[in-house]
Amino acid sequence: DVVMTQSPLSLPVTLGQPASISCRSSQSLVHSDGNTYLNWFQQRPGQSPRRLIYKVSDRDSGVPDRFSGSGSGTDFTLKISRVEAEDVAVYYCMQGTHWPRTFGQGTKVEIK
């Protein structure tokens, strides 16, 4: 299985400041169809996961533009340009290129 490794696992951030989460895969996520199926999910306390980003950098409908995704191959990043109180959550990267789909361990974003 493809191992997804996130860092950091805990990220205290000051309101209004940027935040960045790294995700690395144990093998390339470039699919034979040319797409890279790397996704980011947000899970707020007590809620189901919600997808924010798909195919590395495409934002889902309704996702604020302060969230952005980047990267290629095996290295990917989720950035929050200015953290707001509602962004307190655990963030997971997930690859959909290879079966089984696998998730990172999660990064807990909290307010300092």
User: What minimum distance in Å lies between the beta carbon of 68 and other proteins?
Assistant: 17
Q: Work out whether strand 4-7 and strand 102-103 pair parallel, antiparallel, or are unpaired.
A: unpaired
CA distance 105 to 84: 23
Q: Give the one residue of 25, 39, 42, 74 binding other proteins; rule: CB under 8 A.
A: 39
Q: Is 34 in the site for other proteins (CB under 8 A)?
A: no
Q: With respect to other proteins, which residue has the nearer C-beta, 16 or 62?
A: 62
User: What minimum distance in Å lies between the beta carbon of 104 and other proteins?
Assistant: 8
Q: What residues numbered 47-106 form the site for other proteins, per CB under 8 A?
A: 48-51, 54-55, 58, 60, 92, 94, 96-97, 99-106
Q: Is 32 in the site for other proteins (CB under 8 A)?
A: no
Q: Going by C-beta distance under 8 Å and a sequence separation of 6 or more, which residues neighbour residue 11? A: 19, 21, 107, 108, 109, 110
Q: What angle do CA 35, 41, 42 make, to 5 degrees?
A: 160
